[in-house]
Chain A
Amino acid sequence: GEDVEQSLFLSVREGDSSVINCTYTDSSSTYLYWYKQEPGAGLQLLTYIFSNMDMKQDQRLTVLLNKKDKHLSLRIADTQTGDSAIYFCAESVTGSNYQLIWGAGTKLIIKP
């Protein structure tokens, strides 16, 4: 069945760029999402990319989509301590407007 995979942890130095990677299996997914979960809080939508796009940029965030390799990445420029969180990748289910398949989440650890 469909699956979304992410590394469980990523450690970066404050001020460096963070790149969080995700691979997915459903090549027909229409939307791919990045959500952020801060400690003790629910998930919040960071950004999404439509499947016919290769890249989307929003301030410090850059999303890259490689459909051939089914690879999605989230780059956070100039990483700050406030970026410490768990980042979830999710893909939409083909034929559904609402159902998502979730990755297990990547915990971003910021070193001073």
Chain B
Amino acid sequence: EAQVTQNPRYLITVTGKKLTVTCSQNMNHEYMSWYRQDPGLGLRQIYYSMNVEVTDKGDVPEGYKVSRKEKRNFPLILESPSPNQTSLYFCASSYGPASGYTFGSGTRLTVV
């Protein structure tokens, strides 16, 4: 089944403790992206990647890192999480504009 898989689905952590949210797609998509979703703000893009070793900042990149060493994987790294990074995070991938994005199921992160 074609899908984007994110792990974990839920995560509670403490301020300053480094964490990684994994994202993997099995559709051979070149484009991958990370979003955060907050009530009333819709989706805000954190980082995106057009291909292996090609990443770029989105609208809200501060406090986040990404890497794209393989086409299928695009992990999101929070080196020193803070409470304002408490949010619902989505990974997405795309083949092209007419196919739209395929989204993962989301990771709900709480930083205390």
Contacts and interface: CB of A to CB of B under 8 A. Distances in A.
Interface stretch (B38-46, B66-74, B78-86): B38-46
A88 interface: yes
A100 B101 contact: yes
Interface residues on A, range: 20 to 34
B100 A42 contact: no
A103 B104 CA distance: 19
Interface residues of B, number: 24
Given A98-B50, A98-B94, A104 B103 contact: no
Nearest to B3: A42
B48 A43 contact: no
A97 to B, nearest CB: 5
Contacts of A105: 42
B42 A104 contact: yes
Given A42-B90, A43-B103, A88 B97 contact: no
B105 interface: yes
A104 B101 CA distance: 17
25 contacts: A35-B100, A40-B106, A41-B105, A41-B106, A42-B4, A42-B90, A42-B103, A42-B104, A42-B105, A42-B106, A43-B43, A43-B90, A44-B103, A48-B98, A48-B100, A88-B42, A88-B43, A97-B31, A97-B96, A97-B97, A98-B33, A98-B48, A98-B96, A104-B40, A104-B41
Interface of B: 4, 31, 33, 40-43, 45, 48, 50, 90, 92, 94, 96-106
